[in-house]
Structure 1
Amino acid sequence: MDPRKPRSFPPLNALRAFEAAARTLNFRLAAEEIGVTQGAVAQQVRHLEDVLSIQLFERLPRGLALTADGLAYFSAVQRALNIILDATAALNRRSSTLTISTTPSFASKWLIPRLSEFSQSYPDTEVRIIADEKLCTFKGDGIDIAIRLCKPPFGKGLTGDLLFPLDIFAVASPSLLDGPKPLNNSADLGKHVLLHDAHDLWPEFLKALKLSGKVDPAKGPRFNQSSLAIDAAVAGQGIALTSEPLVERDVTAGRLRRIFDFSFPLSLGFYVVYPNESPDSDAKQAILAWLFAQREKDTQNHGTKSLRI
């Protein structure tokens, strides 16, 4: 067969009418199933028989019977139509699936604890989370939106909406604060272990507190993820620098306390980034609306207490 030569397909509406009639062996029932008149089904079947030059049905006084050719053709046509139905169902499932890429710390500390609320509101939308630091291209990587710690400008064809600005502050476990090394003033930081993450913000933070040269900004263990430094702080192992979205639940639950009435603003923020080249799906619109509704809820609920020093 010459692959360049167009293939001649039988009329698809006639195939659908034939499959329904062959399955029910009744033009009336087939017509009810596909939403046309009984006469239209009979006409479509006759047209298919004319195109194929083959009789597919025996017209009997009390109904229909498939000929041998009709029975063989019905089996093949039914398989083909089922493949189309399955492919369509799979496509619809993919259209209601949304993949979010974000950092491991933001995923574990903010996004995942709230996802059950989204699932309750949008039970037909499946959310997939990819937690890594890899930059998204949105071209063949399967990512619909990304939540990243970054700042404008963004790449060509991308939209970035600010989810949270980033103000850095210090937190510690109440067990540490109530221990044998009290924090009576900011200089007492030198008595405690400083917990570092990959952002290495302690030098800037200490400089803003006018503690450069008084407290060693390099001492203390280092973690490649902010969530690990936060977990170490919850365990009473030292003092961590973090931001509201990552510790809001720990502070509310009393596992952590802010230890200064001071925060250090960064030019970075958590942005929701997505391509603007194609129309948004219902799933994408839903998750975007939900993310910013969660932000507003968090903003209203904030009011954490700090240990003033």
Structure 2
Amino acid sequence: MARRPLPPLNALRAFEAFGRHGRMTTAADELFVTHGAVSRQVRGLEEQLSVRLTEGPKSRLRLTEAGLKLAQALTQAFDLVDEALPQQPTDADGLRVTVQPTFAMKWLIPRLPDFVDAHPDVPVRIQETNGPVDFGSTDLAIRLGAPGTGAPPGAQVTPFMQHYQGPVMAPGLLTGPVTVERIAALPRLHTRTFLPAWAEWEGRAGVTLAPPPVDREFDHYFYMLEAAAAGLGVAMGPWAFVQRDLAVGRLVAPLGFVDGEASITALTPRGGLTRPVRLFRDWLVAQGAATPPPPTGEDV
């Protein structure tokens, strides 16, 4: 069999982590290395491939179109490797929480230090998945959908945050007056995770959009949102996923947000909850209540 001419694994891991998080510092924290080490690995990968994978100022780097394509493929490959690895014994897993990857990165993990500080005796293991809920391999699942959607028999469903969504884009993508018609004329970004997002927003917002000049699809929410930040088009962004990017100016939401048809819920086994599960579920409820609502169309 011919040898695969692949770049170094460390460089691919560093770049994939940056692609998921959108920040060198967060990728460095995940890999337990320095910010500079991740930066050097990414620069080395670009030099070896002779392709620009990132662009923009050092403080606000974003993926190029080639970078988005490579990062998406790497995440899929690493997910397959992770699924194939032998599972650790349950006793070593701590409190196992399954959650959609983008929700974990954008909402859950930034708030997790609050739970760790309050309950240092409860180890939490975040497991990223979009698959069915199996209480044989998880203790608590976080899902987005109508209450009860995707819940296995015997599950207790606890909604803890309302789902809002609205069009988001890079700050400089649209200049001048903001109208629905002008936004409809931009490239439209989609995630295969939830393809009906635009149609749902139209129905909730009471508008009908003209067909876009081009549609671009991505496998995950976080790639779609990175594409939006890179100026590749306008995305339908859930408030829980984009709140931090809006706060730092990576994205703007010129039409505000509308409430969606779904809720963000915690799914737990019905009856006989363990102390760690009960503590984490109650903490999610408190964190959801403390998350400020987004601006509506009338507020922007």
1:151 to 146, 154, 169: 146
1:280 to 262, 273, 276: 273
Does residue 1:224 correspond to 2:228, yes or no?
A: no
Which amino acid is 1:196 matched to? H
Aligned equivalents of 1:176, 1:307: Cα separation in 2: 21
Q: Distance in 1 between matches of 2:294 and 2:207?
A: 26
Question: Could you tell me whether the CA contact under 8 Å between 1:258 and 1:306 is conserved in 2?
Answer: no
Determine the structure 2 residue equivalent to 1:205.
201
Amino acid at match of 1:98: L
CA distance change for structure 1 residues 206 and 290 in 2, over 3 Å: closer, same or farther?
A: closer
Q: Aligned pair in 2 of structure 1 residues 261, 107: CA closer, same or farther (>3 Å)? A: closer
Distance 2:184 2:264 in 1: 31
Matching residue of 2:134 = 137
Return the match for 1:237 from 213, 229, 232.
232
Q: Secondary structure at the match of 2:281?
A: helix
Pick the aligned partner of 2:125 from 110, 124, 128.
Answer: 128
Task: Using the TM superposition, give the Cα deviation of residue 102 of structure 1 relative to its aligned residue in structure 2, in angstroms.
Answer: 0.8
Match of 2:165 in 1: 168
When Rg is computed on C-alpha atoms for both structures, the one with the higher figure is: 1
Q: Does the aligned pair in 1 maintain the 2:256–2:294 contact within 8 Å?
A: no
Q: Residue 204 of structure 1: CA displacement? A: 3.9
Write the deviation string for residues 48-70 of structure 1: whole angstroms up to 9, x where unpaired: xxxxxxxxxxxxxxxxxxxxxxx
User: Residues 96 and 188 from structure 1, CA distance in 2 versus in 1: closer, same or farther, beyond 3 angstroms?
Assistant: closer
Deviation of 1:117 (Å) = 2.0
Distance 2:222 2:103 in 1: 8
Shift of 1:202: 2.0
Please give the per-residue CA displacement for 1:28-52, whole angstroms capped at 9, x wherever unaligned.
xxxxxxxxxxxxxxxxxxxxxxxxx
Q: CA deviation at 1:284?
A: 1.5
| Post-superposition offset of 1:306 | 6.2
Shift of residue 190 of structure 1? 3.5
Question: Could you say which residue in structure 2 is the equivalent of 1:293?
Answer: 286
Partner Cα separation in structure 2 for residue 233 and residue 262 of structure 1 = 16
* Aligned position for 1:4: none
Q: Secondary structure at the match of 2:227?
A: helix
Q: Which residue of 1 aligns with 2:111?
A: 114
Distance in 2 of aligned mates of 1:249 and 1:225: 18
The aligned length equals: 207
Contact 1:157 1:276 in 2 (8 A): yes
Question: 8 Å contact 2:187–2:234 — kept in the other structure?
Answer: yes
3-state SS in 2 of match to 1:196: strand
Give the one of 243, 262, 265 matched to 1:268: 262
1:305 CA drift (Å): 7.8
Q: Distance in 2 between matches of 1:120 and 1:308?
A: 35
| Structure 1 alignment gaps of length 5 or more | 1-90
Work out whether 1:186 is the aligned partner of 2:180. Answer: yes
Are 2:104 and 1:102 aligned?
no
Question: Helix, strand or coil: the match of 1:175?
Answer: coil
- Equivalent residue number for residue 215 of structure 1: 211
Displacement of 1:210 in angstroms is 3.2
Matched letter for residue 222 of structure 1: E
How far apart are residue 220 of structure 1 and its match? 2.2
Identical pairs, percent: 26
Structure-2 change in CA distance of 1:261 and 1:304 (3 Å)? closer
Q: Does the aligned pair in 2 maintain the 1:257–1:307 contact within 8 Å?
A: no
Q: Give the Cα–Cα distance (whole angstroms) in 1 for the partners of residues 294 and 221 of structure 2.
A: 22
Q: Which residue of 2 aligns with 1:37?
A: none
| RMSD, aligned α-carbons | 2.7
Shift of 1:137: 2.1
Judge conservation of contact 1:149–1:271 (CA < 8 Å) in 2: yes
- Structure 1 residue 307: Cα displacement: 8.9
TM-score, L = length of structure 2: 0.61
SS at match of 1:161: strand
Distance 1:110 1:261, change over 3 A: closer
Gaps of 5+ in 2: 1-88
Q: CA deviation at 1:241?
A: 0.6
Shift of 1:187: 0.5
